[in-house]
Amino acid sequence: MKVGKEVLELSDVTVRFAGDSGDGMQLTGTQFTNTTALVGNDLSTLPDYPAEIRAPVGTTYGVSGFQLHFSSSDIQTPGDSPDILVAMNPAALKVNVKDLKHNAAIIININSFDARNLKLAGYDTNPLEDGSLEGYNVVQVPLSQQTSKALEDSGLSAKEISRCKNFFALGMMYWLYSRPIEPTLKWIKDKFKDTPLLAAANEKALLAGYYFGENTELFTTRYQVEPAKLPKGIYRNISGNEALAIGFVTASVKSGLPLFLGSYPITPASDILHELSKHKNFGVRTFQAEDEIAAITSAIGAAFSGALAITTTSGPGVALKTEAIGLAVMTELPLIIIDVQRGGPSTGLPTKTEQSDLQQAINGRNGEAPVVVIAACTPADCFNMALEAARLATKYMVPVLYLSDGYIANGSEPWKIPEPDSIPGIEVKFRTEKEGFAPYMRDENLARPWAIPGTAGLEHRIGGLEKSNVSGNVSYDPENHEFMVRLRAQKVKNIENDIPELEVTGDIDADVLVIGWGGTYGSITEAVSRARRNGGRVAQAHFKYLNPFPKNTGEVLNKYKHIICAELNMGQLAKFLKSEYLVDIDSFTKIQGLPFKSSEIEKKIETVIGGYSK
Amino acid sequence: MIDNQPKENSQEKIKYTAKDFTSSQDVRWCPGCGDYSILAQVQRTSPDLGFKKENVVWVSGIGCSSRFPYYMDTYGIHGIHGRAPAIATGVKVNNPNLDVWVATGDGDLLSIGGNHFIHACRRNVDIKILLFNNKIYGLTKGQYSPTSEKGKKTKSTPFGSVDFPFNPLSLALGAEATFVARSLDRDPKHLQAIIKRASEHAGTAFIEIYQNCNIFNDGAFELYTEKDTKPDNVVFLEHGKPMIFGKNQDKGIKLEGLNPKVVDLANGEASVNDLWIHDEFDESPARAFILAQFTENENMPLPVGVFRQIKRSTYDKDFHEQIERIKKVKGEGDLKKLLFAGNMWTVN
Ligand code: SF4
C-alpha cells in the first residue's frame, strides 16, 4: 500500500458521473449521494437522463449523467460546472466536457476509447491525443480491464462483469473523496440478496476500485470535504417527487381523508405514482387510469365521494385534463392537479426541465375558470407544498394546481425531517346536518359544503352546467351567471388573505430585486448571495403562490427601481406581473431544457448593476 | 380520523316509493322522448333494489340522456362528455359501499367515451351502465352517431354516412364485460326486470336500451316496439329456454355450427328440441357474441334480455382487499415511520 498521499481539504465539490444509459450512472450517482449525505455534507443533485430507455450503445444521445454538488456549508444548487467528470466512454466525454470548470479533472475509462466508440461518439480524432483536452487534468484509468481482472474468478460472463464497472468507478471515487464504502456494501448485500454471485461481484468491484485509488500512481492527492453545519436535527436525502408523495400521505393522515390518486404514467411525474403505490398501508388509493382524462375524472369522482383527491401529470397531461379541471371549478370540489413540468410544447423534451406551464396553469381553460396555483421551490419544499395544496383545496372547496418541475422532481437535497406532531392538522368537516342544507350555500370563505354520498338527507346533484348560487339548480339566468363567475373568482382571490406575504431577503433597500418562482429558487438564491458577497446590493423575492399572488406583491414590486425576473420560459411570470401591477420588469429567460446556472443569473445582475463597487 | 365510509346501519330497511327517487327538477326532454320511459322504469324499480337512497350515485356525461341524474333524487354528477364511466369508477373505488349507476348515450359512451367504457368493462368495476341508444346525436341536433347505420342521412351526412357502426353489445363482450343485456324503452316490464338483474350483478353491468328520439330519429326501433311487428322481430332471451318467437310462437332459432338460423316450428321443419337453448352463464363469450351479431343479419330477430352474465371478482373489491392485506402485513400506516426512513443522519 502506498502511504503518504496528500489529503486536500475542500469546501465544496461538484462531481458528474456520465456514461451510456446502460452503464448504471444513475445508480452510481445515487449511491455516491446517499453516502455523502451520511457523511453530513450539504448536497444537491441533478440527474440527467436521455428520453430513450436504451439508446444505441456508445452514441451521444444515449448518454446518461448524474451531477452532485456537496459541501461543508449550506448550498442551493447542484453546481454550475463540475470539478470532476467520470466519463465511461467517448460519448460521455463529448457530451459533458463543455460543462466542466477550466481546470477540472476528467477520469476516463481508457478501455472504451477505441476506434469504434470514438466513431460512435462522432469524434474524428481521439481527444486524448489531439490536444483538445488541454487545461484539464485527464486521468486515464483502465476501468474495464481492472474490473475484469478483479472479477475473473467471479463465475460471471464477460458481459455481466462489464456491468460491474460502475461499482469499480464508485469505489475509486469513494477513495478519492474520502467517503466510507460501508453504506454501499450494505446496500449491495440487501439489493442482490437473491443473486449472491452478483452481490459478491459488485462488492468485489467496489473494493477493487477503492484499492485501485489507494495504490495507483495516477492519483497523488485525495480530497476531504468536512460535514456541513446544518441546523440540528435528523436528516434524510430526498427528491422532489418523493417529498411530494409522502407530503400527500401526510396530508391524508393530518386531514383524516383517504388519499386517492388517479394517474396515468408520464415523465417526469411517474415516480409519484410509484411512490404512492408503496404506501397502501396508509389506505392510499392509487388508480392507474386508462388515460390522463380518466385519471383526473376518477379523481373528481373520488373527491365527490370524500377523498383527498389528486392527479399527477406533466404538461401534455395537463392539456388533456383541461376540460375536467373546468368541471372541478364548476362543481367546486377539492381537487389537486400536480404538474411536474418538462420542456414543451407537445411532447417536447420529456426528460428535461422547464417552467413553461405557468400560463397554462393560470389561464389554460375555457371560460373564466380560476384555480389556485402554487409552486414548490426546492426538492424538500415539495413536501410542504403538498400540505399547503391539501389545506387550501379542502378549506375553500377549490381545485389547486400544484407546479413542480423535472429539475426539483428528480433532484434531491438533505431534508430535515419534521416531527409528525409538529405538522399542523388539516381540519375538514363534511356536512351532515340536513337542516338548512343547500349544495351551493356558502361559508365565510365562500366555500360550499362538502356533503358526500352516504349521508342521508343531503342527496344532491352537481355538474358542469352553470349553477344557481345556494340552491345549486341548473341556471341559465344571465345575472346569476355573472354573479357565479365573479363569486368563483372572488373565492380564489380571497385566499391572498390566507397565504404568506412575499418575503424579501438580501439588501432590502437595494436598487435591484431579483424575482422568480418555483424550482429556480436555488439558482437565484446562490446568484444573489454571490453577487452580494462581491459587493453588489441586491434583494430577492421568490413566488410560491402564483394565483392568487401574495397580498403585498404590488407593494414589493413598486419598491425597486429595477426588477429582474428569472424564468425557464419566455417570461410568463413577468407578463402576469406587468399586466397585474403595471410595473416594468426585466425578463431574464432561458429555454434549453436545463436549469439556470447561478453564474448566468449572477452575470445578469452584474450587467444591471454595472459592475460591483466594493 | 373522519370516517367517510357510510356504515350499514342495523335499522329496519326503509320502504321507498318511486316518488322518493324523483327530484324536484322539471324534466326537460322533448315530449314523447323515450328517455321518459327509462326514467320512469328506473324510478319505479329503485325502491325494490334494496338500496339506501343516500348510497345511490348517478353519474352521466353529456347528451340528452345525461340529464338523467338531475331527475333522480339521489346523489349525482352530471359530468363532461364521455367521462361518466371514469368518474363513476372514482366514486366507486373510493367508496365501494355506494351503488353507482351511469346514464349515457351512444355518442357519449361509444364515441368520445369509448376508451373509458371498455376499460370499465375489463376492470369489472361494480357500476351499472345504462346506454340510451337512439342511434343519433340529439342534443347537438341531429348528426349521425357511432351506432347509426351506414348510409344514414343526417345534417352532417347529407349524402349518407360512409362509416360502419359499432355494435355496442359486441363491443362490451369484447371488452370482457361480465353482464351484457339489451332492453327497449317501450317495454316497461322487460326494462324493469333487466334493471333489477343488472343491479343484482356484482361487476360492470351493461344494458343497451333502444330509445326512440322522436325528434331526430323517430321510428328507428319501430319494428321492435310496435304491437304488430314486435313479435315477429324480437326474441326474448330466457336462461335455459329454447329461443322461440313469432306471433304464434311458431319460429325458433337453431344454431348450426357457428351459424344461427331461423326455423319454422309450425311446418315441421324443426322441433323445439332442435332449438338453441339460451345459457346466460356460459363461461365462453362465443355464443353471446353470435347473439350480439344478430343485428348484422337481416334474417335474424332482435334478441333482448340478458346475453351474458358471468362471475368475476370486481375491481373495487380486489382493490380494497389488497389495501387491507397490505395493512395486515405492514401494519397500519405510521407517519413517524414514513417520514423517518431511508438513509438518515443526525446533525448535532
Ligand atoms: S332530442 Fe331526441 S333524445 Fe333528445 S330529448 Fe329530444 S327526443 Fe329525446
Question: Which percentage of chain B shows pLDDT scores above 90?
Answer: 93
Residue B33 CA to ligand 1 centre (angstroms): 5
CB of A438 less than 8 A from some CB of B:
no
3-state helix, strand, coil in chain A (%, to 5): 40, 20, 40
Angstrom distance (rounded) from CA A497 to CA A559: 21
3-state secondary structure chain B: CCCCCCCCCCCCCCCCCHHHHECCCCCCCCCCCCHHHHHHHHHHHHHHCCCCHHHEEEEECCCCHHHHHHHECCEEEECCCCCHHHHHHHHHHHCCCCEEEEEEEHHHHHHHCHHHHHHHHHHCCCEEEEEEECCCCCCCCCCCCCCCCCCCCECCECCCCCCCCCCHHHHHHHCCCCEEEEEECCCHHHHHHHHHHHHHCCCCEEEEEECCCCCCCCCCCHHHHCCCCHHHHEEECCCCCECEECCCCCEEEEEECCEEEEEECCCCCCCHHHCCECCCCCCCCHHHHHHHHHHHCCCCCEEEEEEEECCCCCHHHHHHHHHHHHHHHHCCCCHHHHHCCCCEEEEC
Tell me the domain boundaries of chain B.
18-225+313-326
Q: Which of A287, A452, A462 sits opposite B4 (nearest CB)?
A: A452
Angstrom distance (rounded) from CA A318 to CA A315: 5
CB of A493 less than 8 A from some CB of B:
no
Q: Which residues contact B8 (CB under 8 A, 6 or more apart)?
A: B97
Q: Which of A231, A246, A299 sits opposite B338 (nearest CB)?
A: A246
Q: Whose CA is nearest to atom 3 of ligand 1?
A: B213
- pLDDT tens digits, A184-226: 999 999 999 999 999 999 999 999 999 999 999 999 899 999 9
pLDDT of residue A55: 78
Distance from A415 to chain B by nearest Cα, in Å?
Answer: 10
Question: Domain A504-609 belongs to what architecture?
Answer: 3-Layer(aba) Sandwich (3.40)
Distance from B348 to chain A by nearest Cα, in Å?
Answer: 5
- Which residues of A240-305 form beta strands (DSSP E)? 259-263, 285-288
CB of A473 less than 8 A from some CB of B:
yes
Cis peptide before A345 (omega within 30 of 0): yes
In 3D, which of B164, B159, B130 has the Cα closest to residue B147?
B164
CATH 3.40.50.920 location in chain A: 504-609
In 3D, which of A373, A241, A262, A374 has the Cα closest to residue A324?
A262
CATH number of B18-225+313-326: 3.40.50.970
Question: Consecutive 10-residue runs of chain B (348 residues): their mean pLDDT?
Answer: 44 81 94 97 96 97 96 98 98 98 98 98 98 95 95 96 97 98 98 98 98 96 97 98 97 96 94 97 97 96 98 98 97 97 88
Supply the DSSP string of A504-572, one letter for each residue: EEE-TT-SEEEEEEGGGHHHHHHHHHHHHHTT--EEEEEESEEESPPTTHHHHHHT-SEEEEEESSSSH
Residue A370 CA to ligand 1 centre (angstroms): 34
pLDDT of residue B276: 98
CATH number of A6-224: 3.40.920.10
Residues with pLDDT less than 70, chain A: 1-4, 612-614
ipTM above 0.85, yes or no: yes
Angstrom distance (rounded) from CA A360 to CA A278: 31
In 3D, which of B22, B56, B50, B51 has the Cα closest to residue B36?
B22
CATH 3.40.50.970 location in chain A: 236-422
Angstrom distance (rounded) from CA A73 to CA A202: 33
CATH number of A236-422: 3.40.50.970
Angstrom distance (rounded) from CA B218 to CA B210: 12
Q: Are A108 and A141 in contact (CB under 8 A)?
A: yes
pLDDT of residue A6: 87
Residue B204 CA to ligand 1 centre (angstroms): 26
- pLDDT tens digits, A291-350: 999 999 999 999 999 999 999 999 999 999 999 999 999 999 999 999 999 999 999 999
Residue B36 CA to ligand 1 centre (angstroms): 10
pLDDT of residue B6: 44
pLDDT of residue B335: 98
Distance from B283 to chain A by nearest Cα, in Å?
Answer: 26
pLDDT of residue A614: 47
CATH 3.40.920.10 location in chain A: 6-224
Q: Which residues line ligand 1 (CB under 6 A)?
A: B 29-30, 33, 35, 64, 134, 138, 213-216
Angstrom distance (rounded) from CA A578 to CA A575: 5
Answer yes or no: do B90 and A297 touch at CB < 8 A.
yes
- pLDDT tens digits, A33-75: 999 999 999 999 999 888 777 778 899 989 999 999 999 999 9
CB of A234 less than 8 A from some CB of B:
yes
How many CA atoms does the CB half-sphere of A557 hold within 13 Å? 25
Angstrom distance (rounded) from CA B89 to CA A287: 10
Q: Which of A246, A307, A463 sits opposite B77 (nearest CB)?
A: A463
Residue B132 CA to ligand 1 centre (angstroms): 11
CB of A293 less than 8 A from some CB of B:
yes
